[in-house]
């Protein structure tokens, strides 16, 4: 055997894969991984088919189909008042996670430090470590999952290269406020710190909350990579298409990495999206659509012994089982899957350190009949 020094010695199979496989083995309702089980737009499917039949099946521009980038620039101006140059500031990527990884690879040098708030989406820290940098983890306050900005200030060093933020937040559904943005502004002002903003759930926001996108703040955008996902917007997570917006000087370096990795993305889907994105109601109304699902799930879950924590965005809601068991979150999640036929994700999997708040993440972005079966099974707890 060839001797190989792993670049990710602490990484194994993701918890999402582990729980999904377990769900299949036990014929469980999968409320773990974040994907819908309802259909995407037939119109968008037809537009992809039309593009394929029209012969648009070869490589497209490395940075993305220009009419799509132009439509994205129009969208960001409409939503956030941002004046984005589609030629120099937008790159289409194979998914939001790829955009985040490429942003990290663009800026990081060995021994740099990146501030990450936990619980954190599981790709963040491997993306930092594979670039020879170090994740400085700061726990969000439990159970509100808010940022303690005084702690952020304490953890800054001359090695701090970036701060990663995520709103609406996965796994908690917490949403950054205007005050959070002001705190961030004051921290990074007159520094060399880059912001990497994961905004893949930008439209999945509830209860009258507003999405405080980095795109709304020119001084922050000037030092930021802002990453998005088409899959989360149009119920097509398997497409693995997203995009990144950044100032020209950062995007120039981002594209150097991109050109030698993916190089370009799926052509017919980009052409279809360039047309479909002009239907603003499809993304403007998404929050109300998902809030209805969250409310439906919440109401049904009141009949169980699980206790809901607040969520104001994303596909997810966290539930506490503190009145049911002292088991670890992974143990209890496996117990639910094997014995009650409902698969979830232990929130502890989003931390590097050992933790047991006795909470699980549930995905409510499912058909009502799917949620009904899951709730009926959970009522037996």
pLDDT per residue over 23-75, tens digit each? 999 999 999 988 899 999 999 999 999 999 999 999 999 999 999 999 999 99
Strand order in the sheet with 134-139: 90-93, 242-245, 224-229, 194-198, 160-166, 113-118, 134-139
What backbone phi and psi angles, to 5 degrees, belong to 143?
Answer: -100, 5
* CA dist., res. 69 & res. 93, Å (int): 12
Q: How confident is the model at residue 203 (pLDDT cuts 50, 70, 90)?
A: very high
Average pLDDT over residues 299-327: 97
Average pLDDT over residues 135-164: 98
Average pLDDT over residues 277-304: 97
Contact 346, 332 (CB under 8 A): yes
Residue boundaries of the structural domains of the chain? 15-40+284-378, 42-279
What backbone phi and psi angles, to 5 degrees, belong to 362?
Answer: -115, 135
* CA dist., res. 161 & res. 151, Å (int): 17
CATH code linked to domain 15-40+284-378: 3.90.1150.10
Q: pTM here? A: 0.96
Torsion angle, alpha carbons of 225, 173, 362, 307, to 10: 160
Q: How confident is the model at residue 11 (pLDDT cuts 50, 70, 90)?
A: confident
* CA dist., res. 378 & res. 381, Å (int): 6
Contact 275, 234 (CB under 8 A): no
225-256 pLDDT per residue, tens = 999 999 999 999 999 999 999 999 999 999 99
Q: How confident is the model at residue 16 (pLDDT cuts 50, 70, 90)?
A: confident
Collect all residues with Cβ–Cβ distance below 8 Å to 68 and sequence separation of at least 6: 92, 270, 271, 273, 274, 277
* CA dist., res. 218 & res. 83, Å (int): 9
Q: How confident is the model at residue 14 (pLDDT cuts 50, 70, 90)?
A: confident
* Amino acid 330: pLDDT: 95
Nearest to 207 by CA among 122, 317, 60, 311: 311
* Amino acid 292: pLDDT: 98
Residues 42-279, CATH architecture: 3-Layer(aba) Sandwich (3.40)
* CA dist., res. 140 & res. 136, Å (int): 13
The angle formed by the CA atoms of residues 28, 33 and 34, to the nearest 5 degrees, is: 130
Is the pLDDT at 109 greater than 90, yes or no? yes
Q: Which residues pair with 106 in a beta bridge?
A: none
* Amino acid 175: pLDDT: 98
- The average confidence (pLDDT) of the chain is 97
Q: How confident is the model at residue 124 (pLDDT cuts 50, 70, 90)?
A: very high
Contact 365, 356 (CB under 8 A): no
* Amino acid 320: pLDDT: 98
* Amino acid 33: pLDDT: 85
Which residue carries 């991109």 as its tokens? 258
Contact 336, 318 (CB under 8 A): no
* CA dist., res. 38 & res. 235, Å (int): 8
Q: How confident is the model at residue 184 (pLDDT cuts 50, 70, 90)?
A: very high
Answer whether 15-40+284-378 and 42-279 agree in fold. no
* CA dist., res. 365 & res. 235, Å (int): 9
* CA dist., res. 97 & res. 144, Å (int): 25
Nearest to 125 by CA among 42, 49, 11: 11
Is the pLDDT at 1 greater than 90, yes or no? no
Taking the alpha carbons of 194, 195, 200, 202 in that order, is the dihedral positive or negative? negative
User: At how many degrees (to 10) do helices 15-25 and 329-340 cross?
Assistant: 20
Is the pLDDT at 377 greater than 90, yes or no? yes
* Amino acid 12: pLDDT: 80
76-102 pLDDT per residue, tens = 999 999 999 999 999 999 999 999 999
* Amino acid 262: pLDDT: 96
30, two tokens: 């999968």
* CA dist., res. 189 & res. 285, Å (int): 35
337, two tokens: 């899957």
Is the pLDDT at 381 greater than 90, yes or no? yes
* Amino acid 15: pLDDT: 86
Contact 172, 316 (CB under 8 A): yes
Contact 184, 220 (CB under 8 A): yes
């Amino acid at each position: 055997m060839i001797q190989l020094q792993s670049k990710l010695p602490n990484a194994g199979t993701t918890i999402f894969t582990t729980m999904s496989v377990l769900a299949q083995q036990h014929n469980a309702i999968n409320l773990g991984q974040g994907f819908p089980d309802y259909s995407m737009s037939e119109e968008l499917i037809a537009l992809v088919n039309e593009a394929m039949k029209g012969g648009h099946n070869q490589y497209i521009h490395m940075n993305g189909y220009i009419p799509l980038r132009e439509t994205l620039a129009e969208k960001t101006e409409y939503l956030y008042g941002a004046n984005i140059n589609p030629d120099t500031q937008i790159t289409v990527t194979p998914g939001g996670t790829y955009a985040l990884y490429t942003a990290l690879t663009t800026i990081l040098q060995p021994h740099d430090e990146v501030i990450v708030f936990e619980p954190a989406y599981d790709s963040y820290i491997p993306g930092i470590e594979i670039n020879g940098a170090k994740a400085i983890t700061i726990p969000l306050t439990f159970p509100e999952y808010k940022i303690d900005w005084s702690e952020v200030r304490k953890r800054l060093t001359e090695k701090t290269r970036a701060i990663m933020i995520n709103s609406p937040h996965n796994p908690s559904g917490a949403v950054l406020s205007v005050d959070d943005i002001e705190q961030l502004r004051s921290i990074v002002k007159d520094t060399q710190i880059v912001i990497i903003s994961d905004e893949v759930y930008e439209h999945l926001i509830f209860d009258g909350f507003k999405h405080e996108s980095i795109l709304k703040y020119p001084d922050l955008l000037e030092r930021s990579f802002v990453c998005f996902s088409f899959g989360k917007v149009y119920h097509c997570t398997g497409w693995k298409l997203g995009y990144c917006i950044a100032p020209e000087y950062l995007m120039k370096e981002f594209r150097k990495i991109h050109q030698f990795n993916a190089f370009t993305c799926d052509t017919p889907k980009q052409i279809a999206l360039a047309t479909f994105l002009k239907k603003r109601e499809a993304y403007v109304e998404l929050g109300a659509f998902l809030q209805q699902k969250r409310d439906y799930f919440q109401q049904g879950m009141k009949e169980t012994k699980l206790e809901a924590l607040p969520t104001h965005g994303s596909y997810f809601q966290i539930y506490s089982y503190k009145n049911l068991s002292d088991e670890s979150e992974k143990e209890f999640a496996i117990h639910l899957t094997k014995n009650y036929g409902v698969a979830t994700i232990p929130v502890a999997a989003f931390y590097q350190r050992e933790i047991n708040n006795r909470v699980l993440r549930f995905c409510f972005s499912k058909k009502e009949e799917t949620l009904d079966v899951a709730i009926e099974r959970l009522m037996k707890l």
